[in-house]
Amino acid sequence: MADGKAQTDFYARLAQGLDTLREQGLFKPERVIASRQGAEVVCDDGRSLINLCANNYLGLSGDEAMVRASIEATEKYGYGLSSVRFICGTQTVHKQLEQALSAFLGTEDTILYAAAFDANGGVFEPLFDENDAIISDSLNHASIIDGIRLCKAARYRYQHNDMADLEAQLLAAADKRHRIIVTDGVFSMDGTIAQLDKICELAERHDALVMIDECHASGFMGKTGRGTHEHHGVMGKIDIITGTLGKALGGAMGGFTSGRKEVIQTLRQKSRPYLFSNTLAPSIAGASLAVLERLSASTELRDRLHENTAYFRAAISELGFTVKPGTHPVVPVMLFDAPLAQKFAQRLYELGVLVTGFFYPVVPMGQARVRVQLSAAHTREQLDRALVAFRQAGQELGILKN
């Protein structure tokens, strides 16, 4: 390894940056899990914990049926393709999954990516240029922000969830060729559900397209779990839907963009993360297909998730915690102060509950929190045990309002 002045300066600067994060209580450690993902996990120190911080909304990540489905797909289609899609990386299972996702979401066609981050990174640049306007919610996911940066379209930002400001931005962009409104269907830090009914109305009035990112919605929002567009009664009115296979829909990895065939065909020709990155592993494609079949046959998992959410939201508020109101299985328990959020999460860990403290820059300064995420896999007994731990940690740290 080289060890000249360039190296000394560079590594010293990084080490100092890391020290600063630690001093400010902003350093993000990683817990190491030694078991499958699930409602309860075993960490590498042998401790068993109730897990309240996975995006495992439907409890499928460690589910035996998923493991079987992925093994079956691996046996039939092999481990991998060693290719991007257009060279020699498309199998029947990829086409089947794309069709199944389109049917599930109520769209014409779907294109798969290695991650939703790639779907968002590769969606704007092929479809829009300097003649167009992208009008984006100020709290949209980092991957949307990065995707917009890669595109030459004019950028407009509206205040989070603020329909009056959205309209003002639509007016400001009135002279552009195309206008597209972009929003997370559900905002992951607050569990806020985008007002898609109003957004679609504004889009119609101001001649704009609508795109939603459904990473925290696909599989469980809406009566049959299709997503935020179903929840708000605007299925068929959304132009572009991006989403992930790495959260509710199985939890491995992979993403997609769904919409009209002109959009999807254009992305297959021009979207860089699709053209220049490997095809989704067959095990994931096959298992994701099994998930969609299961969710289309029954809303049982989705229903159980929402029951657990309602139960936990009511109980945690009753204990005297400050909770952001809502109905989504993301339940933000507010601590406001970053070091306090870290301390609270650490105490809960000692008491057998796995949650993570979130603070700047993941959430705005002064808005630190522990984000609880419910799962269909949680039993009532596990939730009750978690609530006992919350009460104890809350009392010890003087957080409770009661």
Ligand X SMILES: *Cc1c(COP(=O)(O)O)cnc(C)c1O
Note the residues at the interface with ligand X (CB under 6 A). Answer: 115-117, 120, 141, 143, 184, 188, 213, 215-216, 244, 246, 255
Query: Nearest approach, Cβ of 114 to ligand X (angstroms)?
Result: 8
Q: Using CA of residue 120, residue 123, residue 129, residue 132, what is the dihedral sign?
A: negative
Q: Name the active-site residue from 70, 102, 188, 288.
A: 188
Residue closer to ligand X (CB basis): 176 or 226: 226
What's the rounded Cα separation, in Å, for the pair 251 and 186?
Answer: 17
Task: Establish whether 229 is an annotated binding residue.
Answer: no
Query: Nearest approach, Cβ of 113 to ligand X (angstroms)?
Result: 8
216 flagged as catalytic: yes
Task: Establish whether 247 is an annotated binding residue.
Answer: yes
What's the rounded Cα separation, in Å, for the pair 179 and 201?
Answer: 14
Query: Nearest approach, Cβ of 392 to ligand X (angstroms)?
Result: 31
Task: Establish whether 188 is an annotated binding residue.
Answer: yes
Q: Name the active-site residue from 94, 229, 231, 247.
A: 247
Task: Establish whether 246 is an annotated binding residue.
Answer: yes
Task: Establish whether 250 is an annotated binding residue.
Answer: no
Q: Using CA of residue 267, residue 271, residue 276, residue 277, what is the dihedral sign?
A: negative
Query: Nearest approach, Cβ of 127 to ligand X (angstroms)?
Result: 18
188 flagged as catalytic: yes
Query: Nearest approach, Cβ of 241 to ligand X (angstroms)?
Result: 12
Query: Nearest approach, Cβ of 245 to ligand X (angstroms)?
Result: 7
298 flagged as catalytic: no
Residue closer to ligand X (CB basis): 117 or 349: 117
Q: Name the active-site residue from 94, 176, 216, 229.
A: 216
Residue closer to ligand X (CB basis): 189 or 355: 189
Residue closer to ligand X (CB basis): 274 or 344: 274
Q: What is the 3-state secondary structure (H, E, C) of the chain?
A: CCCCHHHHHHHHHHHHHHHHHHHCCCCCCCCCECCCCCCEEEECCCCEEEECCCCCCCCCCCCHHHHHHHHHHHHHHCCCCCCCHHHHCCCHHHHHHHHHHHHHHCCCEEEEECCHHHHHHCCCCCCCCCCCEEEEECCCCHHHHHHHHCCCCEEEEECCCCHHHHHHHHHHCCCCCCEEEEEECEECCCCEECCHHHHHHHHHHCCCEEEEECCCCCCCCCCCCCCHHHHCCCCCCCCEEEEECCCCCCCCCCEEEEECHHHHHHHHHHCHHHHCCCCCCHHHHHHHHHHHHHHHHCCHHHHHHHHHHHHHHHHHHHCCCCECCCCCCEEEEEEECHHHHHHHHHHHHHCCEECCEECCCCCCCCCEEEEEECCCCCCHHHHHHHHHHHHHHHHHCCCCCC
Residue closer to ligand X (CB basis): 107 or 382: 107
Residue closer to ligand X (CB basis): 373 or 382: 373
Q: Which residues are catalytic?
A: 188, 216, 247
Residue ranges at the known binding site:
141, 188, 244-247, 277-278, 371
Residue ranges at the known binding site for substrate:
141, 371
